[in-house]
């Protein structure tokens, strides 16, 4: 089997990997916003839950989180299929790291913006969503891009719960044909190219969002 | 009572420092009052308290005879709720030293956003009004520009239009030209001057621009160490100040002008 | 039974938990060993990579740059599989733990190389120019001027990567290293109770990362921001 054949064989796994990465990154971004804001809330239960979420998911290993969701949760009555478990673990993980980025970026928005919006009569939800967050987003983009690439790499972990992603297909192919060096080299290159593509795509998004950047005087 | 705004023995403390101590002060309806004083004298703080950007530790502020920081009847007062503060805020508009335009919105959108979201004005009505106001401040042709594409003077004029769009009863100007390059100060001051001449808007301005203060104000208050040290018509406070500190302050401004 | 220790799944959950704790702790020891050795390897390899990358000859610096990017942007798990299956084909048979250490050290050396580069670049050109003016040679400049100032700056970032490596170390269980996570899945497979062992593993991780973060924090505090003092 030459490299082209290997590549074609792995394509289905590639699709799963891309789906997983995109879906979990999107959900993770949402979680990052929710808990990033939650950490600064005045309502203390919200703050406590947010802090707990962040500490737990940043302080424990992703593989443990994945196994826990897939193997341990059923014992509490909730059975997740591998795709849901994988997406959930990745999303929760990236959401925890992302929330710190969101929090930091919100703090970096000049105080004058929240004062001006307060003076104009916006309520706190409007201030947050219409004024503060749009200006915080450009600040977050570089780190979010890094997190997304990290998420792509982390997605390989789902092969361990038999989800048919790129790594799973590679391992399978290896078992069938034993063309070890070629298969894993092609696989690594496929991930590498995906990472570059992801980086490029988010770079485009970042440049588009730069117009929302706070003015620096 | 003709008093529009009243500060009654207001105390403002920050960390351990008293910025305002038993500060009493009032502004009549339609009056144009200019606050002058050194930095730290409290003039910005007075405006910010009125705009509910700062809390007070003692005393009370009244707008239109209604308490700002407390609600309820004299029998049972409680600290103002967020809803009460929001209601009171609609009576006051503010123009900031740093303009604080929303950078992700065009000039038009900046002016339109609050009336649409807060006053629930229909969008075309808000846009018509915005166009009117932007014309008034001389920026009609730049209404689709983003703040980054506007000069400091232009941004501040948009900020004035934005504040006026909410139809406040009291307009506050916190050192509106202090962050501007000298060539742009004039265009902003003339907009404020026109506003003062047209009408019945109650205006409270903190500034260092003495000539402007003389032109625009009905009354000038000199603040020193958190209290009104001297107040009166501009010719008197600026031309013939009674207090020695006032004289020292005015002389120091002249020195600055000479050095500039 | 695992590591020679029996567990007891018959009683209450607490009883079960306590009986497997020694097993999990032995597994934790394996994780910690792998992390420490892997990190030392990463620090050293990273230094070499960083130096190669800054060499003036593009023949050397470009491959180094490519290797760093490649290691950084591909999954550690696949790198581990690669090493695990490929090395024996070339006659190199190593214990799984050692392969794991190589894998960890490999990917993290790329991260360390970037940290070194960032730390050195953060030192203004003024320092280099002053050293030049004093006629100091390149080696001495690095040793006495640049590195003592760069090290306090990079400690926090390196510390973050150390904590990160602790959390990546369990991947070694996928190449048959018997660590904490492998132990807990074996226990789970045999007792059908995954909840207790995995939850305990989670807690043990949390504690470990907290301790390491704390130690890094203390180290960071002890180093003066202006640079390691030299007499």
pLDDT digits (tens), chain A, 217 positions:
687 888 888 898 999 999 999 999 999 999 999 999 998 888 889 999 999 999 899 889 999 999 999 998 888 888 899 999 999 999 999 999 999 889 888 988 999 999 999 999 999 899 999 999 999 998 888 889 999 999 999 999 999 999 999 999 999 888 888 788 889 999 999 999 999 999 999 999 988 888 777 776 4
Q: What's the Cα-to-Cα distance from C123 to each of B215, C150, C151, rounded to whole Å?
A: 54, 7, 11
Residues 6+ apart with CB under 8 A from B103: A135, A212, A213, A214, A215, B146, B147, B148
| Pairs of CB atoms within 8 A across A/B | 71
Distance from CA of A153 to the nearest CA of C (A): 4
Range list of H helices, chain C: 13-53, 58-73, 76-86, 96-121, 125-133, 138-140, 147-168, 180-191, 195-222
Type and span of the H or E element at B11: strand B3-14
Report the residue of A115, A215, A216, A217 to disrupt the B interface, i.e. the one with the largest count of B CBs within 10 Å.
Answer: A215
β-strands B219-224, B3-14: how paired?
Answer: unpaired
**What span, in angstroms and rounded, lies between the C-alpha atoms of C172 and C178?**
8
Of A99, A134, A128, A100, the closest CA to residue A114 belongs to A128
Q: Are B12 and B52 in contact, with CB atoms under 8 Å apart?
A: no
pLDDT(C35) > 80: yes
Chains that touch C (3 or more CB pairs under 8 A): A
Domains within chain A, CATH numbers bracketed: 3-216 (1.10.3720.10)
In the block, tokens 């807060």 appear at B118
Please compute the mean of the pLDDT values over residues C183-201 and round it to a whole number: 89
Q: What is the pLDDT of residue C42?
A: 95
pLDDT in tens, B179-224: 999 999 999 999 999 999 887 899 999 998 888 999 899 999 999 8
Q: Are B184 and B151 in contact, with CB atoms under 8 Å apart?
A: yes
If you average pLDDT over each of A21-35, B8-22, C79-93, which comes out highest? A21-35
Tokens of A51: 């802090």
Domains within chain C, CATH numbers bracketed: 13-222 (1.10.3720.10)
CB contact under 8 A, C78 and A72: no
**What span, in angstroms and rounded, lies between the C-alpha atoms of A173 and B72?**
76
Please give the backbone phi and psi of residue A39, each rounded to the nearest 5 degrees, phi first: -65, -20
CB contact under 8 A, B89 and A121: yes
Q: Are B236 and B215 in contact, with CB atoms under 8 Å apart?
A: no
Range list of H helices, chain A: 3-38, 44-59, 62-67, 82-108, 111-119, 124-126, 133-154, 166-177, 180-209
Q: Are B159 and B100 in contact, with CB atoms under 8 Å apart?
A: yes
CB contact under 8 A, A63 and C173: yes
Of C69, B161, B205, B125, the closest CA to residue A195 belongs to C69
Q: What is the pLDDT of residue A216?
A: 60
Q: What is the pLDDT of residue B40?
A: 77
Chains that touch A (3 or more CB pairs under 8 A): B, C
CB contact under 8 A, A119 and B104: no
Chains that touch B (3 or more CB pairs under 8 A): A
Q: Are B187 and B138 in contact, with CB atoms under 8 Å apart?
A: yes
**What span, in angstroms and rounded, lies between the C-alpha atoms of A52 and C162?**
22
Kindly state whether A135 is in contact with chain B, defined as any CB-CB distance less than 8 angstroms: yes
Kindly state whether A185 is in contact with chain C, defined as any CB-CB distance less than 8 angstroms: yes
**What span, in angstroms and rounded, lies between the C-alpha atoms of A71 and C125?**
55
To the nearest 10 degrees (0 to 180), the angle between helices B152-164 and B107-117 is 20
CB contact under 8 A, C181 and A155: no
Other CB atoms within 10 Å distance of the CB of residue B167: 13
Tokens of C76: 């550690």
ipTM value of the model? 0.86
In sequence order, what are the beta bridge partners of B8?
A: B60
Residues 6+ apart with CB under 8 A from C148: C227, C228, C229, C230
**What span, in angstroms and rounded, lies between the C-alpha atoms of C227 and C58?**
32
User: Hey, is C19 helix, strand or coil?
Assistant: helix
Other CB atoms within 10 Å distance of the CB of residue B197: 10
Please compute the mean of the pLDDT values over residues B222-237 and round it to a whole number: 88
Average pLDDT, rounded, for chain A: 90
Distance from CA of A214 to the nearest CA of C (A): 25
pLDDT in tens, B87-120: 899 999 999 999 999 998 999 999 999 999 999 9
Instruction: Report DSSP state, residue B250.
Output: H
Tokens of B247: 């004289």
Q: Are C103 and C80 in contact, with CB atoms under 8 Å apart?
A: yes
pLDDT in tens, C108-149: 999 999 888 888 887 878 888 888 888 888 778 877 888 788
Q: Are A9 and A179 in contact, with CB atoms under 8 Å apart?
A: no
Interface of C with A in 189-218 (CB under 8 A): 193-195, 198-199, 201-202, 205-206, 209-210
For chains B and A, having 3+ Cβ pairs within 8 Å is answered: yes
**What span, in angstroms and rounded, lies between the C-alpha atoms of B13 and B19?**
6
R_g over Cα of chain C: 22
Please give the backbone phi and psi of residue B25, each rounded to the nearest 5 degrees, phi first: -170, 145
Kindly state whether A114 is in contact with chain C, defined as any CB-CB distance less than 8 angstroms: no
Type and span of the H or E element at B27: strand B17-28
Question: Is A146 buried (19+), middle (13-18) or exposed (0-12) by CB count in 10 A?
Answer: middle
> Nearest-CA residue of chain C relative to A93?
C167
Q: Are B106 and B154 in contact, with CB atoms under 8 Å apart?
A: no
Question: Is C165 buried (19+), middle (13-18) or exposed (0-12) by CB count in 10 A?
Answer: buried
pTM: 0.82
Q: What is the pLDDT of residue B81?
A: 87
For chains C and A, having 3+ Cβ pairs within 8 Å is answered: yes
> Nearest-CA residue of chain A relative to B115?
A120
From A72, A149, A170, residue closest to C198, measured CB to CB = A72
Q: What is the band of C208 on the pLDDT scale with cuts at 50, 70, 90?
A: very high
Contacts of A126 in chain B (CB under 8 A): 117-118
CB contact under 8 A, B96 and A112: yes
> Nearest-CA residue of chain C relative to A168?
C78
């Amino acid at each position: 089997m030459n490299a082209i054949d290997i590549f074609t064989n792995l394509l289905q796994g590639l699709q799963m990997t891309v789906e997983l990465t995109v879906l979990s990154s999107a959900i993770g971004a949402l979680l990052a916003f929710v808990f990033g804001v939650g950490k600064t809330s005045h309502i203390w239960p919200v703050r406590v839950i947010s802090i707990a979420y962040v500490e737990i998911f940043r302080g424990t290993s992703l593989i443990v989180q994945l196994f826990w969701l897939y193997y341990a949760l059923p014992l509490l009555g909730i059975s997740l299929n591998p795709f849901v478990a994988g997406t959930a673990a990745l999303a929760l993980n990236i959401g925890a790291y992302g929330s710190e980025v969101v929090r930091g970026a919100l703090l970096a928005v000049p105080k004058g913006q929240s004062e001006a919006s307060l003076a104009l009569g916006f309520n706190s939800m409007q201030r947050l969503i219409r004024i503060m967050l749009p200006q915080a987003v450009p600040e977050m983009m570089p780190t979010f891009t890094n997190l997304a690439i990290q998420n792509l790499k982390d997605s390989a972990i789902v092969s361990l719960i038999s989800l048919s992603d790129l790594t799973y297909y590679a391992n399978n192919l290896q078992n069938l044909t034993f063309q070890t060096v070629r298969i894993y080299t092609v696989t690594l290159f496929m991930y590498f190219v995906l990472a570059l593509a992801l980086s490029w795509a988010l770079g485009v998004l970042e440049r588009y969002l730069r117009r929302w950047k706070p003015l620096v005087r | 009572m003709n008093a529009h705004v009243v500060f009654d023995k207001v105390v403002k403390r920050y960390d351990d420092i008293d910025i305002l101590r038993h500060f009493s002060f009032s502004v009549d309806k339609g009056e144009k009052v200019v606050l002058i004083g050194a930095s730290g004298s409290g003039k910005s703080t007075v405006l910010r308290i009125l705009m509910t950007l700062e809390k007070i530790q003692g005393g009370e502020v009244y707008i239109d005879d209604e308490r700002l920081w407390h609600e309820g009847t004299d029998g049972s007062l409680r600290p103002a709720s967020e809803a009460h503060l929001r209601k009171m805020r609609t009576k006051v508009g503010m123009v900031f030293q740093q303009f604080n335009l929303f950078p992700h919105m065009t000039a038009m959108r900046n002016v339109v956003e609050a009336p649409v979201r807060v006053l629930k004005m229909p969008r075309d009505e808000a846009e018509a009004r915005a166009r009117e106001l932007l014309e008034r401040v001389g920026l009609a042709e730049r209404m689709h520009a983003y703040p980054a594409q506007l000069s400091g003077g232009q941004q501040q004029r948009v900020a004035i239009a934005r504040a006026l769009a909410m139809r406040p009863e009291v307009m506050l100007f916190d050192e509106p030209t202090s962050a501007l390059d000298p060539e742009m100060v004039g265009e902003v001051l003339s907009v404020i001057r026109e506003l003062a001449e047209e009408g019945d808007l109650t205006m409270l301005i903190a500034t260092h621009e003495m000539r402007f203060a003389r032109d625009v104000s009905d009354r000038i208050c000199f603040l020193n160490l958190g209290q009104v040290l001297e107040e009166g018509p501009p010719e008197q406070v600026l031309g013939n100040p009674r207090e020695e500190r006032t004289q020292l302050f005015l002389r120091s401004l002249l020195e600055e002008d000479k050095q500039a | 039974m695992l590591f020679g220790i029996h567990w007891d799944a018959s009683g209450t959950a607490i009883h079960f938990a306590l009986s497997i704790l020694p097993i999990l702790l032995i597994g934790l020891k394996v994780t910690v060993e792998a992390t420490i050795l892997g990190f030392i390897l990463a620090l050293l390899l990273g230094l070499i990579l960083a130096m190669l990358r800054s060499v003036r000859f593009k023949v050397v610096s470009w491959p180094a740059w490519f290797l760093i990017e490649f290691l950084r942007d591909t999954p550690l798990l696949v790198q581990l599989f690669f090493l695990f299956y490929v090395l024996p084909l070339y006659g190199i048979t190593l214990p799984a733990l050692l392969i794991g250490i190589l894998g960890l050290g490999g990917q993290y050396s790329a991260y360390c190389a970037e940290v070194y580069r960032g730390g050195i670049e953060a030192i203004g050109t003024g320092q280099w120019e002053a050293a030049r003016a004093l006629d100091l040679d390149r080696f001495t400049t690095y040793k006495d001027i640049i590195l003592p100032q760069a090290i306090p700056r990079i400690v926090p970032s390196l510390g973050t990567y150390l904590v990160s490596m602790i959390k990546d170390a369990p991947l070694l269980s996928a190449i048959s290293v018997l660590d904490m996570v492998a132990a807990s899945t074996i226990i789970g497979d045999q007792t059908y109770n995954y909840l207790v062992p995995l939850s305990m593993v989670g807690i043990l991780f949390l504690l470990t990362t907290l301790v390491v973060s704390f130690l890094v924090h203390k180290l960071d505090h002890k180093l003066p921001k202006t640079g390691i003092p030299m007499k």
